[in-house]
Structure 1
Amino acid sequence: MLLVGLTGSIGMGKSKSAELFAAEGLPVYDADASVHALYEKGGAAVAPLGKYFPDAIKNDAVDRTVLGQLVLNDSEKLQKLESIVHPLAGQMQKDFLETQEAAGKKAVILDIPLLLEKNAEGLVDVVVVVSTSPEIQKKRVLERPGMTEEKFLSILGKQMPDAQKREKADFIVDSSISIEDAHRQIRDIIRGLDAFPARALEVRKTLMK
């Protein structure tokens, strides 16, 4: 089973690209959505996060806005957050891969925002980077509810520059023109996947032993 890593900096159009891959029949694992599920009432991350970030727990769930403010520009708190959430999210991803492999899927999309920042490209067979111009990126991000330029710049500072991501990509989706154009590009990418060997899943299994 081919593992396709889908990534891109904030505001580049990665989430919409994931939807377009799904529309073409490829199962998508959404790393952000998995974390959201961990934060919801009854989610596995609520109790452990409550021990270290009690102010972020509201109505038995994690308030992501408050949590984000608590770790903003605080590397120590961010590391603690990641040490709690990443293993839980990793198990969810493992379960997804096992399910799709058992179903006989030939390829899956792993929608992982920080794939390249975490130097995890060796855990996928193909890297797809979604990109657009800095002007379009900034406009999209600042239109989000609760977003400020300060927060945008802080997030951007933690992400690998777009130019470096493009250099590491096997395929690039240019999201600057239209959804229809991006969809065309994605169909072309899917047709090109047959040229790549599926090795990453076996690498993952070795690491998980």
Structure 2
Amino acid sequence: MKSLALTGSIGMGKSTVAAMFADAGIPVFDADATVRALQGPGGRLVPLIEARFPGTTKQGAVDRDALSAAVLHDPDELAALEAIVHPAVHHERTRFIVEHGNAPALLFDIPLLFETRGDAAFDHVIVVSAPAALQRERVLARPGMTQAKMEHILSRQLPDADKRARADFVIDTSGPLEATRAQVQRILACLDLKTGV
């Protein structure tokens, strides 16, 4: 089984690319979606987060804006949150690997792959990229996004050029979806992964 990591800075089109791999029959583990489930209604991290960060949950789920405000500008608080979240995500990831033990490859969608030095654990790293102007346009179009919030997020991420330099494969998402899908198919062919698409 090949282990593939998919990463890229905010607004680069990573979710779109991950969906294309899933459409091609490659099981995808989405770290962000896992976190959302763990922190969503009935999620098992909700009581732990409320205990450590009082007032950051409501109606049985984490209030993401309140939690963000509590940790955004305090490295110690962010580290405390990560100490709650990361082990739970690791547990879910292990369960995903066991469930898909017969797959020819697994794709792990990990936004902060290089930043957490996680790239060494994978056979191949795929970076999703787009020109900075397009990235900015996409990010600022998101609900609730501000210039300041975007700049803070980008400050925690390795620059796109550095990610591309460290990638085994780069997918450019600046063109039409068909062009992006063709790049995904080329990678699958290069890795000799037979797919249904």
> Which residue matches 1:182?
180
Q: Secondary structure at the match of 1:54?
A: coil
> Which residue matches 2:108?
110
Is 2:141 the counterpart of 1:143? yes
Q: Secondary structure at the match of 2:126?
A: strand
Equivalent AA in structure 2 for residue 81 of structure 1: L
> Which residue matches 1:35?
35
The CA distance in 2 between the partners of 1:34 and 1:135, in whole Å, is 29
The CA distance in 1 between the partners of 2:47 and 2:122, in whole Å, is 31
Gaps of 5+ in 1: 196-209
> Which residue matches 1:198?
none
> Which residue matches 2:69?
69
> Which residue matches 2:9?
9
Q: Secondary structure at the match of 2:55?
A: helix
Q: Find 1:166's aligned residue among 164, 174, 178.
A: 164
> Sequence identity of aligned pairs in percent?
45
Is 2:112 the counterpart of 1:120? no
Q: Secondary structure at the match of 2:69?
A: helix
The CA distance in 2 between the partners of 1:15 and 1:188, in whole Å, is 18
The CA distance in 2 between the partners of 1:90 and 1:7, in whole Å, is 17
> Which residue matches 1:18?
18
> Which residue matches 1:152?
150
Q: Secondary structure at the match of 1:194?
A: coil
Q: Deviations over 1:88-142 (max 9, x none)?
A: 01100000011111xx101011001011111111111110000001100000000
TM-score normalised over the length of structure 2 = 0.96
Offset, 1:180 = 1.1
Equivalent AA in structure 1 for residue 189 of structure 2: R
The CA distance in 1 between the partners of 2:12 and 2:72, in whole Å, is 21
The CA distance in 2 between the partners of 1:155 and 1:77, in whole Å, is 16
> Which residue matches 1:89?
89
**Is the contact made by 1:3 and 1:126 (CA closer than 8 Å) also made in structure 2?**
yes
Range with bigger deviation, 47-56 or 144-153: 47-56
Bigger share in helix: 1
* Coordinate RMSD, CA, aligned: 1.0
**Is the contact made by 1:7 and 1:112 (CA closer than 8 Å) also made in structure 2?**
yes
TM-score normalised over the length of structure 1 = 0.90
Gaps of 5+ in 2: none
The CA distance in 2 between the partners of 1:182 and 1:126, in whole Å, is 18
**Is the contact made by 1:10 and 1:141 (CA closer than 8 Å) also made in structure 2?**
yes
> Which residue matches 1:80?
80
The CA distance in 2 between the partners of 1:7 and 1:56, in whole Å, is 28
Equivalent AA in structure 2 for residue 111 of structure 1: D
